[in-house]
Amino acid sequence: MSPATGRIPPDVASLADYERHALQRLDAARVAWLQGGAADGLTVQANQRAWQGLPLQPRVLRPLAHGHTRIERPGLRLPHPIMLAPVAYLRLVHPDGELATAMAAAAQGAGLVLSTQASVPMERVAELVLGEAERGPLWFQLYAMAQREHTLQLVQRAEAAGFEALVLTVDAPVQGARDAERRAGFRLPADVRAVNLQGLALPGMAAADAAAPGLAAGLCGGLLAHAPTWSDIAWLKAHTRLPLWLKGITHPLDAQQAQALGVDGLIVSNHGGRVLDTMPATAALLPAVRQAVGPEWPVLVDGGIRRGTDVLKALALGADAVLVGRPHVHALAVAGALGVAHAIRLLRDEFEIALALTGCATPAEVSSAVLSSAVLTSAERGG
Amino acid sequence: MSPATGRIPPDVASLADYERHALQRLDAARVAWLQGGAADGLTVQANQRAWQGLPLQPRVLRPLAHGHTRIERPGLRLPHPIMLAPVAYLRLVHPDGELATAMAAAAQGAGLVLSTQASVPMERVAELVLGEAERGPLWFQLYAMAQREHTLQLVQRAEAAGFEALVLTVDAPVQGARDAERRAGFRLPADVRAVNLQGLALPGMAAADAAAPGLAAGLCGGLLAHAPTWSDIAWLKAHTRLPLWLKGITHPLDAQQAQALGVDGLIVSNHGGRVLDTMPATAALLPAVRQAVGPEWPVLVDGGIRRGTDVLKALALGADAVLVGRPHVHALAVAGALGVAHAIRLLRDEFEIALALTGCATPAEVSSAVLSSAVLTSAERGG
Amino acid sequence: MSPATGRIPPDVASLADYERHALQRLDAARVAWLQGGAADGLTVQANQRAWQGLPLQPRVLRPLAHGHTRIERPGLRLPHPIMLAPVAYLRLVHPDGELATAMAAAAQGAGLVLSTQASVPMERVAELVLGEAERGPLWFQLYAMAQREHTLQLVQRAEAAGFEALVLTVDAPVQGARDAERRAGFRLPADVRAVNLQGLALPGMAAADAAAPGLAAGLCGGLLAHAPTWSDIAWLKAHTRLPLWLKGITHPLDAQQAQALGVDGLIVSNHGGRVLDTMPATAALLPAVRQAVGPEWPVLVDGGIRRGTDVLKALALGADAVLVGRPHVHALAVAGALGVAHAIRLLRDEFEIALALTGCATPAEVSSAVLSSAVLTSAERGG
Amino acid sequence: MSPATGRIPPDVASLADYERHALQRLDAARVAWLQGGAADGLTVQANQRAWQGLPLQPRVLRPLAHGHTRIERPGLRLPHPIMLAPVAYLRLVHPDGELATAMAAAAQGAGLVLSTQASVPMERVAELVLGEAERGPLWFQLYAMAQREHTLQLVQRAEAAGFEALVLTVDAPVQGARDAERRAGFRLPADVRAVNLQGLALPGMAAADAAAPGLAAGLCGGLLAHAPTWSDIAWLKAHTRLPLWLKGITHPLDAQQAQALGVDGLIVSNHGGRVLDTMPATAALLPAVRQAVGPEWPVLVDGGIRRGTDVLKALALGADAVLVGRPHVHALAVAGALGVAHAIRLLRDEFEIALALTGCATPAEVSSAVLSSAVLTSAERGG
């Protein structure tokens, strides 16, 4: 049995506490895999700091009765604006893996985006989640496969299992060269695999398992030739009855292109800083994307969300909801399903408090007015 | 007897020295309670850094004879512009608690705002203070109770005891979720209680004593329904003969609303960074509030004041006076009443020196001209 | 035999890893010589941080087939935009010295600029490189000698050996006073010498070997009298059939002067921060130089390039290619020729990935559009 | 005999090295006295960082023959633009005290401003200096005494001894409350005194020797009444035949007032950060002062000068020369007169190199054009 027996340590008061405990429990290679970002990890840091750096402006004595946290938009109905981002191979940190995470998400009303590299069968996840009364939506994440028929097999399996939308990750035509993993010699153990991709092949996938220093010469050439393009989006849209979201859009023109092709929504993401280092924080990228697609089209954001105040700020900058990635893995590693449920609850409670303190009774009342325009002096930013 | 026997350590030269000594003497849970801010403590840091970051511009060789430190405005007469902010449960750090603090404040001419959660009866504080010749004003801080009759009981008791104004804290409709306290497992000891609130109930007050991880689900819902609104201010104003100040106003529109309702003055405050993290520093919030209410209406400020130069800068940005919170608790913990008196004296002396060095003979001569417009180069702000 | 036996440590995933290993293997004096910058090393730090601080803007789903990394401009044809900058005395870190570096560069298609202070004969380097099929260009770096006939001897020898361009370093009329070297008491060992300068004299060259504290009084006076001027450039241009590049140009007017004199290209450089401390990073200096000389004239840049993203950003700011200095010495110290080849390969692979992720199939597609205009919040820049 | 026997440690390559050695040799109380600034020492840090943060722009290949470092202006002729600032009680760090410093200054052509609180008789200093052929000017610093006849006694003694100008310090009507000294319990030893002030009294002087926590209540009141005003300047100007400089002017209007009263020059200074903390760096204050008094009137600057590049930048911002304070005390503590001479030489050599590398043959060629306008990216300033 795993040491993660489902007990919540008594000193856990925030997501950062789960991270601290998780880093103590996981071995160095798993830590490198989970925490590492591309190259020097600058974008990983930027993501969190960007939310922290946005100042909030409270309002006092406003009527808050009849408040709630629901998101109710065409194409997106959520009990609260917190969803779980896709993370591969969750059995690396807990024997129950994605099953524990899915149970916790359903119990806490959090939407779940299952990774295409999940370490349990997608059908088992769907069975667990779909019967829950208070659950959030259940979506399936995928990459464009090297061969379209492989993509189609995945899509049809997800449709049959009951997934409610597809999330195509488009920001990683190549596997990011994550130095931390390579330094730590990270390799998947024999009993943890991307079970839903058996017999299929991702472009450049081999690189993920390669611990050899340097990338093989052929990889880059091959990659340039096989990366998906906008025509693959149109094709995929035509071959599924599910709503299609794109994950990893950050340029306003790319957002408009997606909208024009009938995509159903998008996720502003820099892949948690794991793909291209020195990308801006998603908080810095979000406003221009929202501006480009208009106020009605669904836009989510992930990257660096660690506090309820971060969730509030994401809404203030134009997101309809947020996804959290590494934090749910930290909680899973520490206390299994109970930990994940608790982590979601902590974040949601913090969000409710932030909502109330900025004078908003519901998410629909959140606007850029909750952000302060008070000019901070230079020294506040210094050391 | 407490180890805080009233001896001032020989190496105390500033408020920071009292803080250093206090942190050595208090146990970890009390330190978490006293020092902790909301969430990641970013606003706590911002408060101090903001004052430090405002550059001062000296003037030389100006006539300084006949200078003084008095504040003389309609509705606010003070021997000097330093008051003590309300802090709960002072018997946590010294057996004499608020009695020691009140004696010291009265002896040093510092106004005192007694916390509604004081750990000694408010009447005993009033008795000690009101007879002192050189004292500053004596005010009583309170929250809107869950039931108006409870609020009224408190108000009438304060009036009867001789308090000279009411300070209603409006920035905390919920108890802030202070992670540091929760991590440290802080609980009030049996012999320290909010003796003036016996039989009364604050909204959300239970949460303050809850060490369990996470907030109870019912708290947030309940809170949204019971938080006070502007109509409670009008009601309170109509039910007391005392001047009414609001503490925790930071938005210019809220300030104007308060002014329109006949409130007598306000305190720009972010509750020492203890309620909503990532709020701007009060130094950044103060100018817009002063601008909104005009030059004549009384405006105080607290948050991060640690130096006489900070006091001077607060006046330069539009405050009539300042309140200090944690510093008087540090001094109380270290040396009891003598420590508090000494701390006030240190701050006042520093203020006088700063006044003289910027060429001002009195507080009334302080304006934004004491702040330098010299452009600092980028590297001064870097590391 | 040296401990640098050509084995690549298994945990090397980036140039920073080579640096880490090299610092462990070299003695303190060699570390001071290699790593040290002028004075307080502020420009050394600024160089790296400047590239890191430029944010990249990805594009997705664009056609990347038929991509390549070639640079094809009049006067500059390269397999990829990475060249090796001249560094003196490479036998200080590996017995094979410049011969190992030259073999690695030729094998990996990296252009090589041999230092005039190379510790092996220039002819042996040329023999090794010129026969390689996939090699980049081979250039010879020199300083203006105290006597023109000495300069001419060097030039004619380089021409005879087959070097394809001359690179005159103009930013160091004096030897920088590198405090770190002086503190560490760095001296050249007896068996490492500038073998190509036997019998010639550089202006101020003696200072480089002087470990005495302080510079000799006569140095500065002498230096001011003997430093080269623009007339020496015209003279040199008239006395060689090779293309002439100037290295160390940072002012737009100096760039235009060089262009007007018929110089063939220039290298924006602050000498790796080794000459004048508090110069801006080369990333900050490059755009104005490119602006001054127009889009067609060859401009290279060095200083702080450590990542493929840095190479991409240099191109985005107007460079045709980059040079790396210290990194190839780190790799040489750790693993000889194999290390240098591997380091070049790592950097090139990173560059290809960055190219693809920003939606560019070739270097010619890179423009300032790959740099993000997303406004980062103040806190991202803070600590 | 003192351990400072006049040997220069072999690893001294810059003023920072003297500082490092001095901090190791002096006891904690002397370190607190020498290094300490007012309050939190923010201005002490700002001074050095401001110079470092100004970026330099090199020029190449310009004619540098016949260069020199002389300053030749009406009212100010110097061999080079480096002078020694007044520092009190130099016998605290070396038995020869001001005599050693004066010999070194004279030998290295550095102007000397002797402190009124010197620990040796002013006449002995004058005797040592005035006979040196290559010396810089010899000035005497003083404060306005509590009684004008005391001031006059000092002035007449300085005139008689041969001092060539008076420097009246005007930025310290009170002794700064230097917390570090008070914490360390600094007291003057019995054998180190302000021998030139025997029988005279400075306003507030007692405070400098008071180690008691807190300032005496009477100090501030007394100070306000006795601080000098502009009428004292006019009086002093009328009672001496020597040129009169004011030290500690930072406001443009104060500078113009001084000019209008016939003062002969001024020193932009924040007293090394020792008087009013959070004043801007002198580098930030200098340009507005120069602007206010026009290009011809003599203006010096001190505060944070540690490098030859700092000297160059001060000239670029409008200063005619600079003064260094703590650095000459560090060198004195480490190696006596020889150390001070060496420190001056190091700084002068660095200045000459900086002059040459920015393409200037003489100080008169220095202008704001040596400062770079290259825009640094945000990350260069971050951590």
pLDDT in tens, D357-383: 999 999 999 999 999 988 644 433 333
H/E/C letters for each residue in D276-336? CCCCCCHHHHHHHHHHHHCCCCCEEEECCCCCHHHHHHHHHCCCCEEEECHHHHHHHHHHH
In a domain, B2, yes or no: no
Tens digits of per-residue pLDDT, D287-326?
999 999 999 999 999 999 999 999 999 999 999 999 999 9
In a domain, D7, yes or no: no
Whole-angstrom distance, CA of residue A151 vs CA of residue B169: 59
Q: Which residue has the tokens 């103060």?
A: B286
CB atoms within 10 A of CB D33: 23
Tens digits of per-residue pLDDT, A28-41?
999 999 999 999 99
Q: Give, in order, the Cα–Cα distances in Å from B188 to each of B93, B119, B170, B181, D69.
A: 12, 11, 24, 11, 71
What crossing angle do the helices spanning C252-260 and C282-293 adopt, rounded to 10°? 40
Active-site residue list of A: 271
Q: Which of B228, B229, B278 sits opposite A55 (nearest CB)?
A: B278
Contacts of residue D160, Cβ cutoff 8 Å, sequence gap at least 6: none
Q: One digit per residue, pLDDT tens: chain A, 383 residues?
A: 344 457 999 999 999 999 999 999 999 999 999 999 999 999 999 999 999 999 999 999 999 988 999 999 999 999 999 999 999 999 999 999 999 999 999 999 999 999 999 999 999 999 999 999 999 999 999 999 989 999 999 999 999 999 999 999 999 865 656 888 889 999 999 999 999 999 887 765 434 333 333 333 444 445 556 789 999 999 999 999 999 999 999 999 999 999 999 999 999 999 999 999 999 999 999 999 999 999 999 999 999 999 999 999 999 999 999 999 999 999 999 999 999 999 999 999 999 999 999 999 999 999 999 999 886 444 333 33
CA dihedral (C228, C233, C235, C241) positive or negative = positive
Q: Does D68 touch chain B (CB under 8 A)?
A: no
Q: Which residue has the tokens 């009684």?
A: D147
Per the structure, the count of domains in chain B is 1
Q: Do D39 and B383 touch (CB under 8 A)?
A: no
Which chain B residues have a beta carbon less than 8 Å from that of D251? 57-60
| C51 → chain A, closest CA residue | A278
**Is pLDDT above 80 for D199?**
yes
Q: Contact C146/C154 with Cβ under 8 angstroms?
A: no
In a domain, C2, yes or no: no
Query: What are C265's two structure tokens?
Result: 């290209």
DSSP string for residues in B246-271:
EE---SHHHHHHHHHTT--EEEE--G
**Residue A325, SS3 per DSSP:** coil
Query: What are C217's two structure tokens?
Result: 């009084």
The parent domain of residue A331 ranges over 15-380
Q: Which residue has the tokens 């401390």?
A: C277
Q: Give, in order, the Cα–Cα distances in Å from A124 to each of A96, A137, C294.
A: 12, 16, 62
CA A45 to chain centre: 16
Query: H-type helices in chain B, by residue range?
Result: 15-25, 28-35, 42-53, 97-107, 122-130, 148-161, 179-184, 206-209, 217-226, 230-238, 252-260, 282-293, 308-316, 326-357, 378-381
pLDDT at residue D105 in the model? 98
Q: Which of D59, D63, D378 sits opposite C254 (nearest CB)?
A: D59
Which chain A residues have a beta carbon less than 8 Å from that of C59? 251, 253-254
Query: What are D158's two structure tokens?
Result: 């300085």
Looking at residue A199, the DSSP 8-state letter turns out to be T
Q: Does C95 touch chain A (CB under 8 A)?
A: no
Highest mean pLDDT among C13-17, C201-205, C209-213: C13-17
Mean pLDDT by 10 residues, chain B (383 residues): 69 97 97 95 97 96 93 95 98 98 98 97 98 96 93 98 98 73 92 94 50 38 71 97 98 98 98 96 97 97 98 98 98 98 97 96 97 64 33
Tens digits of per-residue pLDDT, C70-127?
999 999 999 999 999 999 999 999 999 999 999 999 999 999 999 999 999 999 999 9
**Is pLDDT above 70 for D177?**
no
Lowest mean pLDDT among B361-365, C146-150, D174-178: D174-178
In a domain, A4, yes or no: no
| C185 → chain D, closest CA residue | D11
Q: What mean pLDDT is reported for chain C? A: 90
**Residue in B20, B377, B381 to test binding to D, most D beta-carbons within 10 Å:** B377
**Is pLDDT above 60 for D189?**
yes
Active-site residue list of C: 271
In a domain, A7, yes or no: no
**Residue C118, SS3 per DSSP:** coil
pLDDT at residue A311 in the model? 98
| B64 → chain D, closest CA residue | D224
Q: Do B349 and D214 touch (CB under 8 A)?
A: yes
pLDDT at residue C227 in the model? 82
Active-site residue list of D: 271
**Residue D194, SS3 per DSSP:** coil
Q: Contact D184/D211 with Cβ under 8 angstroms?
A: no
Q: Which of D346, D352, D378 sits opposite C53 (nearest CB)?
A: D378
Q: Contact A141/A300 with Cβ under 8 angstroms?
A: no
pLDDT at residue B222 in the model? 54
CA dihedral (A250, A256, A257, A260) positive or negative = positive
Q: Contact B322/B247 with Cβ under 8 angstroms?
A: no
Q: Do A342 and B170 touch (CB under 8 A)?
A: no
Q: Do C281 and D349 touch (CB under 8 A)?
A: no
CB atoms within 10 A of CB D89: 22
In a domain, C193, yes or no: yes
**Is pLDDT above 80 for D95?**
yes
CA distance A280 to chain C (A): 6
Q: Do B375 and D250 touch (CB under 8 A)?
A: no
Residue % of chain D over a pLDDT of 70: 89
For residue B354, the one-letter residue type is A
CA distance D379 to chain C (A): 4
> What b/e sequence results for B259-273 when a residue is b if at least 16 CB atoms lie within 10 Å of its CB, and e otherwise?
bebebbbbbbbbbbb
pLDDT at residue D378 in the model? 42
Selection from C277, C45, C36, C44 nearest residue C180 by Cα: C36
A 177-206 near C (Cβ less than 8 A): 177, 179-180, 182-185
pLDDT at residue B381 in the model? 35
Contacts of residue B65, Cβ cutoff 8 Å, sequence gap at least 6: B361, D224, D225
Q: Contact D11/D17 with Cβ under 8 angstroms?
A: yes
Q: Do D275 and B357 touch (CB under 8 A)?
A: yes
Q: Is C206 exposed, middle or buried (0-12, 13-18, 19+ CB in 10 A)?
A: middle
In a domain, A6, yes or no: no
In a domain, C106, yes or no: yes
Q: Contact B165/B263 with Cβ under 8 angstroms?
A: no
Whole-angstrom distance, CA of residue B50 vs CA of residue D41: 16
**Residue C82, SS3 per DSSP:** strand
Query: What are B110's two structure tokens?
Result: 């510092």
User: Averaged over D155-175, what is the pLDDT?
Assistant: 91
Contacts of residue C233, Cβ cutoff 8 Å, sequence gap at least 6: C168, C170, C244, C246, C258, C261, C263, D61
Q: Which of C213, C228, C253 sits opposite D12 (nearest CB)?
A: C213
This prediction has a pTM of 0.94
CATH number of the domain at C374, please: 3.20.20.70
Task: Please state the length of chain A.
Answer: 383
Contacts of residue A296, Cβ cutoff 8 Å, sequence gap at least 6: A73, A74
